[in-house]
Structure 1
Amino acid sequence: MPMIENSLMILLLWAVLGYLIGSIPFGVVVARVMGLGNLRDIGSGNIGATNVLRTGSKPAAAATLILDAAKGAVVLLLARKISGEDAAQIAALAAMFGHCFPVWLKFQGGKGVATFLGILLAFAWPVGICACIAWLIGAAITRVSSMGGIVSAASSSVLVILLGYGMGYFLCILLTIIVIWRHRENIARIRAGTEPKIGQKG
């Protein structure tokens, strides 16, 4: 019984740590540091790299993309190294929640695509690379960043099976649900033909 309780406590600690790291709003921080203003007042008001790009600063958007991806990857790799695979997946899922629902921003965060891809790259790099390619294909065909994210997320559960990483199936399912839920307004705009194109200023 003590071992079970200790294990649950360890998983809980990783969940909390993952959430706190995931909730760091790098888009907001980068925009302020680079003198781009309050990201909440720009474009869609989202804190992700796509909205940072609407400021006209490609370096800021690239920095946001890398940092948002890195926080998901770092959390997973740390948890895996210290406490094993179960802790890694729980920490990664918590980091995704942290990015999308950060306590610092009244639980109004990003859409989660960069963090999602960072998690997949750290979980199993072949899956992550294929998911990134899926994003590129979806975004290139439609010129809509959100469509790339939706395509990437939707393909991830199939990719983990095809590439032999089935232990990540349920993680991918949960991450996909979060990504699609966070994109529900984008999906409505895509259907209406009013979703902004990549690089379009808000």
Structure 2
Amino acid sequence: MASWLALNGVLLLVTYLLGSFPSGYLAGKLLQGIDIREHGSGSTGATNVLRTLGKGPAIVVLAIDILKGSLAVALVYLAYSLPTFTQTAPPSVIPVNWLPWLAVLSGLSALLGHSKSIWLNFTGGKSVATGLGVLLTLDWQVGLATLAVFGLVIALSRIVSMSSIAAAIAVAILMLITARPLPYQLFAMVGGAYVIWRHRTNIQRLIAGTEPKLGQKAVTSD
């Protein structure tokens, strides 16, 4: 039992470090020699990369950040295909129904890593793209529906933060009304709430009417 818990602890640490990979920060350093946290909104996410570095780097950063979330979930199922994990697990947790809980924890670990990267003094992005990667791997149908909500809101408003917040709310509703497994519902609620909390300064600007739209420069924030 103790060795099984230790192995799962290592797995969660690995997914946190995976989420911590500072793709946006590295793009700024490699392409323009800047610390992207000192430009635009101060985030290392793809939206600030778009405003600061352009479309090409933003697409690459977005893809990497989505992949981080997807791999965090996939690693759980890969790990449990190895005898090392299954042989150390007590019989009561061997059944597959344990894995969704661990997959969700790993996904949340990656979200935390992205927004509180150990390599960036625990700063980072808003966890939207990484959360999408987690969601698409957990449940691609709800993931695509959530992405559709994001796309609709951004088409109407041209405001990324508003679209992200709308998607964070929508994912919890979608998980509930489609009666997805309890671990997935909890991920949607906890992950969605965390994404909204990460957008708290954006919410203040939305209320004040000063939140920039796509193509506009962002003011520096935390």
Q: Deviations over 1:142-181 (max 9, x none)?
A: 2110011101111111212333423301111110111011
Distance in 2 (CA, whole Å) between partners of 1:139 and 1:10 is 41
8 Å CA contact 1:136, 1:148 repeated in 2: yes
1:117 and 1:189, CA in 2 relative to 1: closer, same or farther beyond 3 A?
same
Residues 11 and 90 of structure 1 are in contact (CA less than 8 Å); yes or no, is this contact kept in structure 2? no
CA distance in 1, matches of 2:59, 2:180: 29
- Give the alignment of 1:107-122 within 5 angstroms: 107-122=122-137
2:153 is the counterpart of 1:156: no
Partner of residue 126, structure 1: 141
**Displaced runs of 4+ in structure 1, greater than 6 A?**
none
SS of 1:64's partner is helix
The yes-or-no answer on 1:55 pairing with 2:52 is: yes
**Equivalent runs, 1:1-202 vs 2, <5 Å:** 3=1, 5-35=2-32, 37-83=34-80, 84-167=99-182, 168-202=184-218
Give ranges in structure 1 of 5+ residues lacking alignment. none
* Aligned CA distance change for structure 1 residues 56 and 21 (closer, same or farther; 3 Å): closer
CA distance in 2: counterparts of 1:54 and 1:36, whole angstroms: 16
Say if 2:28 and 2:53, in contact at 8 Å, map to a contact too.
no
Query: 8 Å contact 1:68–1:114 — kept in the other structure?
Result: yes
- After superposition, give the CA deviation of every residue in 1:29-79 in whole Å (9 maximum; x if it has no partner): 122223363212221111000000112510111111111111011110111
In the TM superposition, what is the alpha-carbon distance from 1:91 to its structure 2 partner? 1.0
Structure 2: 5+ residue stretches without partners: 81-98
Relative to the length of structure 1, the TM-score reads 0.92
Count of residues in correspondence between the two structures: 199
- Report the 3-state secondary structure (helix = DSSP H, G, I; strand = E; otherwise coil) of the residue aligned with 1:54: helix
1:109, 1:53 → 2: CA distance? 15
Change (3 A) 1:131 1:15: same
**2:61 is aligned with what amino acid?**
T
Structure 2: distance between partners of 1:7 and 1:117: 29
Q: Which moved more, 1:165-174 or 1:35-44?
A: 35-44
1:77-109 Cα deviation digits (max 9, x unpaired):
111232332321111110000011112111111
When Rg is computed on C-alpha atoms for both structures, the one with the higher figure is 2
What is the distance in 2 between the residues matched to 1:166 and 1:153?
Answer: 18
TM-score (norm 2): 0.84
Task: Assess if the C-alpha contact under 8 Å between 1:76 and 1:123 holds in 2.
Answer: yes
